[in-house]
Amino acid sequence: MMYLPGEIISVFNRWMIKTKRQPLAIFFSLVQPIIWFFLFTEAFAAIGQIPNFEQITGTDNYKTFFTAAIVIQTVMASALQSGIGMVDDMESGYLDKMKVAPISRSSILIGKVLSDAVRIMIQTFIILLLAVSVGVSIVTSVPGAIMILIIAAAFGIAWSGLSTFVALTTKNSETTLTIGLITTFPLLFLSTAVMPKALLPSWVQSFSEINPISYVADATRSLIINGWDWAVLGEGFLVILIVGVITLSATTLMFRRSISG
């Protein structure tokens, strides 16, 4: 019988191999954010010329401002794959095999979550490369880009808990996908990810203050535009921690129920 670290590594490797065998899934998960990045920033480039936009955001380039939104959209789309992958495991009988396997239940979940984090970091890295190639500059340079990858991985783990919980509850990939899409876009547009808070309608401003996406977007954007604002970064990581505690606790409870049922 393996010890917990070995079990986690085995589960992690299994998910990474599974991801490697599905290059199209990774490709298509990036297509939508990339299309949004080009279409949205080209169609709404004039937003950068709004009076006081630069004073509010620190840049007159909407493409630079929007990069944080694309990073978050990529993370949320990738986190959604986590739940769908869990449904695939239930349908293929993999989880049934785990019921009788001499392996810790927690290692199954931890290994999967860590593989999600690595996948999300790779996808976010590709998005950042794309943004830089079209003229977006990251004021905090390489260290800031690394911090953005860490934020993306941490938020991805926390958000994947939501999709995995839905997957374990519904045991249906279509429902998991639908709920994921329903939560992704409204939360994105009702946050400060797409538009500065000062330019949002008053009711959206109020909602954005309780929307976790706002804090993650502000933390990511600060590294791109403003520099090392530790207060903003601290708020971002605190919100990620709160979201993670809630979603991963619910997922762990549901997972144990599913694996022992």
CA distance 121 to 39: 24
pLDDT of residue 20: 74
> Quick one: pLDDT at residue 234?
97
Name the band, by pLDDT with cuts 50, 70 and 90, for residue 175: confident
Over pLDDT 70: what percentage of the chain?
95
pLDDT > 60? residue 1? no
With a cut of 90, say whether residue 190 has pLDDT above it.
yes
Q: What percent of the chain has pLDDT over 90?
A: 38
Q: What is the 3-state secondary structure (H, E, C) of the chain?
A: CCCHHHHHHHHHHHHHHHHHCCHHHHHHHHHHHHHHHHHHHHHCHHHHHCCCHHHHHCCCCHHHHHHHHHHHHHHHHHHHHHHHHHHHHHHHCHHHHHHHCCCCHHHHHHHHHHHHHHHHHHHHHHHHHHHHHCCCCCCCHHHHHHHHHHHHHHHHHHHHHHHHHHHHHHCCHHHHHHHHHHHHHHHHHCCCCCCCHHHCCHHHHHHHCCCHHHHHHHHHHHHHHHCCCHHHHHHHHHHHHHHHHHHHHHHHHHHHHHHHC
Q: Copy the structure tokens of residue 5.
A: 């670290």
Residue 235, pLDDT above cutoff 80? yes
Note the pLDDT tens digit of each residue in 65-89. 999 999 998 898 888 888 888 888 7
In this predicted structure, what is the pLDDT of residue 171? 82
User: Which pTM does this prediction carry?
Assistant: 0.88
- For residues 6-25, one letter each, b for 16 or more C-beta atoms within 10 angstroms of the residue's C-beta and e for the rest, the string is ebbeebbeebeeebeeeeee
Residue 34 banded pLDDT, cuts 50, 70, 90: confident
- What's the pLDDT tens digit per position in 114-167? 888 898 898 899 889 989 998 899 999 999 999 999 999 999 999 988 888 888
* Mean pLDDT score, 98-106: 73
Residue 238, pLDDT above cutoff 80? yes
pLDDT-derived band at 215, boundaries 50, 70, 90? very high
Mean pLDDT of the chain: 86
Task: Count other Cβ atoms within 10 Å, centred on residue 29.
Answer: 18
